[in-house]
């Protein structure tokens, strides 16, 4: 979502981070005087106004506390539920039924494609702060070309789940521990149409969840270990980029970054890469 970002460090090691999106700018740092100097310089060079402490940006609500910040999309979620007439539905405990399998060959009646795509688009934007619905949303998004009633019911279940979890927020605590950790997993042959697996991963900086993904793998895995190994490889690629990114911000991470994987075969393959 961000067009560009800039990291500045002065001679006295004061840090200023600047994020630019189109004509909007977010900046912050350790030194209030440095922030004020930057604000005055920008107002002198460009016609712009200061909106004060960050509280709302691109649909994201930011609540700053003494010990950290909360990030959420509660307002957006309520507006979305109202838009699709789902604000009065009975909540459910999970975004997807356990073992849910959807297919393009579903024989149930077809539904309005425009409305279906609109619901998918709204949900995809919400995954920016709701990793708990990412897997379910990515699953139903695969059937936008020819949506069926079964697929629509799966989407409505996600909305019902959101109805009961509107106030869910991400918490980023104030800390000086910035060790990178990731958790990797794979749903072997999760797609009943092409038998491809789905890779998933979550990335933590200290105790804060900073990134997540859920993607269908490009090839068909013959074994669970192969699917898990591919998922771990995708996480490793992301971690290398994140390690370089935090280094640019002056944060020194550990040389070895753990990737948590529960498949022993995939772990043993990673320990002996000679034949792989």
Q: At what angle do helices 264-271 and 224-248 cross, to 10 degrees?
A: 60
Which tens digit of pLDDT belongs to each residue from 65-96? Answer: 888 899 999 999 999 999 999 988 899 999 99
Do 271 and 182 share a structural domain?
Answer: yes
Confidence class for position 12, pLDDT limits 50, 70, 90: low
User: At residue 223, does pLDDT exceed 80?
Assistant: yes
H-run or E-run covering 20: strand 15-21
Q: Is the pLDDT of residue 3 over 60?
A: no
CA angle 194/201/6 to nearest 5° reads 120
In this structure, is residue 23 part of a structural domain? yes
Residue 52: which pLDDT band, with cuts at 50, 70 and 90? confident
Q: Residue 40's pLDDT is what?
A: 85
Domain that residue 48 falls in: 4-52
Q: Domain ends where: 164, 188, 219?
A: 164
Handedness of CA 72, 76, 82, 85 (dihedral sign): negative
Same domain, 182 and 91: no
Share of the chain above pLDDT 90, in %: 46
Domain boundary among 143, 164, 185: 164
Last residue of a domain, one of 144, 164, 184: 164
Q: Given pLDDT bands bounded at 50, 70 and 90, which one contains residue 2?
A: very low
Q: Tell me the sheet residues that pair with 202.
A: 183, 212
Select from 202, 198, 175 the least CA-distant residue to 187: 198
Cβ-count burial 45-64 (b if 16+ within 10 Å, e if not): eeeeeeeeeeeeeeebbeee
Establish if 127 belongs to a structural domain: yes
Assess if residue 244 is contained within a domain.
Answer: yes
What is the value of pTM for the model shown?
A: 0.83
**Between the CA of residue 63 and those of 29, 60, 78, what are the distances in Å?**
17, 10, 17
- In a domain? residue 32: yes
pLDDT, position 246 = 82
Of 177-181, 184-188, 249-253, give the range with the top mean pLDDT: 184-188
Instruction: Give the range with max mean pLDDT: 117-121, 192-196, 252-256.
Output: 117-121
Residue 130 counted as domain residue:
yes
CB 81 within 8 A of CB 73: no
Q: What is the mean pLDDT of residues 117-139?
A: 93
Please tell me which residue, 244 or 158, carries the higher pLDDT value: 158
The reply to whether 145 and 206 lie within a common domain is no
- Rounded to the nearest integer, the mean pLDDT of the chain is 86
User: Closest Cα to residue 132, out of 169, 104, 106?
Assistant: 169
Whether the per-residue pLDDT at 107 is higher than 70: the answer is: yes
Query: In the chain, how many domains are there?
Result: 3
Report pLDDT for 275: 63
- pLDDT band, residue 10 (cuts 50/70/90): low
Residues 180 and 269 in one domain: yes
Q: Is the pLDDT of residue 226 over 80?
A: yes
Phi-psi region of 99 (alpha: psi -120 to 50; beta: other; left: phi over 0): left
Task: Tell me, yes or no, whether 61 lies in a domain.
Answer: no
């Amino acid at each position: 979502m961000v067009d560009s970002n800039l990291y500045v460090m002065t001679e006295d090691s004061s840090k200023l981070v600047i994020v630019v999106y189109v004509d909007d700018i977010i900046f912050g740092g350790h030194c209030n005087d440095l922030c004020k100097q930057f604000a005055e310089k920008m107002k002198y060079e460009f016609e712009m106004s200061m909106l004060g402490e960050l509280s709302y940006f691109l649909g994201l609500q930011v609540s700053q506390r003494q010990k950290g910040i909360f990030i959420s999309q509660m307002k957006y979620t309520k507006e979305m539920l109202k838009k699709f007439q789902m604000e009065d539905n009975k909540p459910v405990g999970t975004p997807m039924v356990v073992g849910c399998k959807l297919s393009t060959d579903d024989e149930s009646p077809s539904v309005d494609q425009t409305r279906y795509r609109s619901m998918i688009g709204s949900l995809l934007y919400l995954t920016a702060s709701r990793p708990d619905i990412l897997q379910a949303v990515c699953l139903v998004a695969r059937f936008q070309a020819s949506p069926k009633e079964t697929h629509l019911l799966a989407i409505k279940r996600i909305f019902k789940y959101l109805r009961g979890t509107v106030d869910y927020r991400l918490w980023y605590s104030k800390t000086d521990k910035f060790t990178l950790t990731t958790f990797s997993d794979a749903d072997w042959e999760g797609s009943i149409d092409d038998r491809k697996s789905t890779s998933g991963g979550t990335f933590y900086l200290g105790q804060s969840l900073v990134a997540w993904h859920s993607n269908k793998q490009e090839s068909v895995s013959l074994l669970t270990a192969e699917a898990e190994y591919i998922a771990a490889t995708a996480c490793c690629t992301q971690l290398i980029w994140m390690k370089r990114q935090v280094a640019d911000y002056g944060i020194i991470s550990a040389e070895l970054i753990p990737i948590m994987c529960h498949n022993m075969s995939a772990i043993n393959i990673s320990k002996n890469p000679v034949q792989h």
